[in-house]
Structure 1
Amino acid sequence: MAPTCFEVILIGFILVLPFLYETNRTFRYYFKFLIYYGFVMLNATLLLPVIFLRRFNVKNFLLASSLCHHVSPLLGLRWELRGREHLERDRACIIVANHQSSLDILGMFELWPVMDKCTVVAKKEIFYAWPVGLAAWLCGLIFIDRMNSQSARSVINDATQEIKTNKIKLWIFPEGTRHNTGEIHPFKKGAFHVAIRSQLPILPVVFSSYYFLSAEEKRFDSGRILVTTLPPISTEGLSTKDVEELMQKTRSAMSEVLQATNSEIQLSLAR
């Protein structure tokens, strides 16, 4: 039986796909993000029935991580964790990390088995990106309205007691907005207010720069990312008047590590 027009087009696309991937940087950029988002959406859909049975349990993220972390090798990404001993301790803390791209989520999928119990503060708009937003909500992710600071504080304050009681780590991106510029931008104060009010330590996590990624150039190459967990910064005895100092101390320590790991990566690439 002769192939249909659709079958001919499909076969032609499959044949030309490797050529486009290897020779066209823009095609590779969009194709990799298609794989990334498609893979995560498929797994979110498959996991929904299981997650629903134990809804709002943050350990659901471990299940999601066990599947979704497989996409990193497909994209040519290699994550290397340093300071594991700080991240794996069974305690409540406020994790603050630099925010560069939606790829940060893939880094977090690599870390969840180490963190064990961790949830994330995210903007409420992500909830409407179903099925991922729905799955994240059922995993216990904390959605906030960034345009309403009073509402955001209330939501996080309500979650703080459970976080302390059940020794859950709370992950916050204090820069607020993604910046893939090779530096750490000024922090918002929310994470540090939460840490001081709850008297929980700050645990800084630094992702080395995504030198392999550029939205402007439409470039998404293979890459190596160093993920460094710094020693915890205590908030015991601190009050709201110490927020600014705590924030600057944390940002300074993270910036120093970012520059060091970026230099290390560049040296390894030059060899």
Structure 2
Amino acid sequence: MRLLYTIWCASWFVALYLVLFPFQFVFLQRENWKPLAHKVNYVWGMLFFIGVGMPVRVERRFRPDPKQVYVFCANHFSYLDIAAMGVIVKNYYAFVGKSEVKHIPLLGYMFAKLHVQVDRSQPNSRAYSLAKSIRTLASGRSIMIFPEGGIRATEPPQMVPFRDGAFTMAIQQQVPIVPVTLLNNDLILPDRSPIRFHWHPLRAVIHPPIDTKGMTQEDLEQLKEETYKIIDNELMKARKSESVKE
């Protein structure tokens, strides 16, 4: 049954995107239309979770102002995280992710046009993506990033140390960091072979923002540590609660 459910999830994911891509393609042709392409991604994500019968339960301890700019930081244990963030965070943002996505037909075209790519094989790519992210923030558009630098944790829910990029750009542009805890995506779609979807309600928490006004790069480690602790504490609390129920 788990294999059948996985096939249905994958088929529904692809079929939806094929139907919605023509609209997205049109909206990607002009810069001032790109927010509409972003909304197509939101519709795609919502219809996906509805179609696979998976409730999305978000505890919004903070509701981001759609007119404000933020750096959204979330833990990253599963490939489902990208789709999840697309429905959890409704602001217009650019996702910072690995450039390998651009090789996926259609999806790669959208990613290259709408988001910020990091090519880990190129030595200057991180500096380039950081500079582009800073320009994106300066233009009035938020950034969404996984500060672990990819799916690197070997024993979720224990995260690996955060990298500096998200916090460097937030301090430089003096915009708030908004921590987001993805509580159980690694249980729904674990990062291991064979790939299998497991049915669970998707759960997440949007935390209150951390203000960076007045901070300098000397405050980077403190900001990074505070963000890590907020997400980590929520992960540990959720897993402890689940183990008690079991």
- TM class, shorter-chain normalised? 0.7 to 0.9
Secondary structure, aligned partner of 1:163: helix
Q: Is the 8 A contact 1:93 1:203 kept in 2?
A: yes
Q: Is the 8 A contact 1:47 1:64 kept in 2?
A: no
Larger radius of gyration: 1
Shift of residue 42 of structure 1?
A: 1.4
Q: Select the residue among 217, 227, 230 that pairs with 2:204.
A: 227
TM-score by length of 1: 0.77
1:169 aligns with 2:142: yes
Q: Equivalent residues in 2 for 1:153-232 (5 A)?
A: 153-166=127-140, 168-178=141-151, 179=153, 181-210=156-185, 211-214=187-190, 215-216=192-193, 218-232=195-209
Aligned to 1:151: 125
Shift of residue 82 of structure 1?
A: 1.6
- Residues 1:183 and 1:32: Cα distance change in structure 2 (over 3 Å): farther
Secondary structure, aligned partner of 1:177: coil
Q: Is the 8 A contact 2:20 2:44 kept in 1?
A: no
1:251 aligns with 2:225: no
Separation in structure 2 between the aligned mates of residue 183 and residue 209 of structure 1, nearest angstrom: 12
Give a deviation string over 1:30-78, Cα, whole Å, max 9, x none: x145325423541453334322343572442112221342111333322
Secondary structure, aligned partner of 2:208: coil
Separation in structure 2 between the aligned mates of residue 32 and residue 131 of structure 1, nearest angstrom: 20
Shift of residue 97 of structure 1?
A: 0.6
- Residues 1:60 and 1:35: Cα distance change in structure 2 (over 3 Å): same
Secondary structure, aligned partner of 1:106: helix
Q: Select the residue among 12, 21, 27 that pairs with 1:45.
A: 21
Shift of residue 120 of structure 1?
A: 0.6
Aligned to 1:5: none
Q: Alignment length, in residue pairs?
A: 241
1:122 aligns with 2:94: no
TM-score by length of 2: 0.84
- Residues 1:41 and 1:68: Cα distance change in structure 2 (over 3 Å): same
- Residues 1:189 and 1:105: Cα distance change in structure 2 (over 3 Å): same
Q: Which runs of 5 or more residues in structure 2 are unaligned?
A: none
Aligned to 1:8: none
